[in-house]
Amino acid sequence: MSITSFEKWKVEHLRFTVFTSKEYQIEELETWWQMLSPEGEIQEVSKKVKTGEFVVTGDCDNNTLELKVLGDRIDILLRSSKQSLTPTSIDVFDSFCMGTVSEMLPKFIQSIERWNSLVTKDEDNFVRFALGTVLINPVDSVKAGYEMLSKLLPFIKFDNEWSDFSFQANTPKEYEIDGIGALKFNYINKYSAAILYIKSINESFESKSNSYFCRREIDNSTEAGLELSIGKILPSLIDKLKEI
C-alpha cells in the first residue's frame, strides 16, 4: 500500500531526511533551498554556534519550507504557513494542514528530485534516508474515528467507550534496489483518534468548538550503516519509502 492511497487525507507536514558523511557550509544550504523552491523566497537564515545547527527558512507555494542541517543530519521540512486556528473556520483543519496527500506529496517529491539533481553532481555519499509525514482525516465523532481505524487495523477490536487510543508498529521489509542490492526499510506507523478542542475569546464573547479526527504518523527509513552514492537511485528509494 502507498501513502498515495490516502489521497484525500490532509497533510500536516512532510519531511525528507538524509544522514551524510560530509559537512556542509551555510552558503551551500541557501543554494539547496533555492533548488528545492525555485519560485520561493528565503526569509531567514540562522546558525546556532553552540550546536552547529544551520536553518534556512522561506516561502514555498504558500507554505513554509525549512532546510535544517545539524551534524550529519539534513532535514527538509514542508509545513503550513497558516497561524490562525479559530472555531469559525469553515474547516478548522485547513488552519494547520497544507492540503491533501494527492496535492502535496507529488510537489514535495518533485522538490526533492530537483535537490537530488544538484547534490548528485558532487557525488556525495549518504548513509540513510527517511520520509515522514503526519496525515489528518476529519471525522464526525470519536466513534466514527474508531470505525475508520478499524478498517486500517482489522486485528484490533475497538470499543466505543475507549479514549486516547494510540497504536504504533514497525513493519520492516527488504527490497532489491538497482545499484545497491538488498536493502532493509523500516516502516513505522502510529495511529490515533482524537478531539481538537478550540476556545476563542475576544472582547464581546467566548466561543468553543470540538473537532474530531484520525491521525496517522508515518516515519519510513532505510537501514543505517550503509554508504550510498545517491545518483540515480533516489527515485527507487523514494518509491519504496512512500509505501505504508
Range among 56-70, 84-98, 170-184, 194-208 with highest mean pLDDT value: 56-70
Q: Give the Cα separation of 227 and 165 in Å (integer).
A: 39
| 193: confidence class by pLDDT, cuts 50, 70, 90 | confident
Asked if residue 105 has pLDDT above 70, the reply is yes
Q: What is the DSSP letter of 62?
A: T
Residues 214-227: pLDDT tens digits? 999 999 998 877 77
For the chain, percent helix, then strand, then coil, each to nearest 5?
Answer: 25, 45, 30
Q: Which stretch of DSSP H or E encloses residue 176?
A: strand 173-177
* pTM for this model (two decimals): 0.86
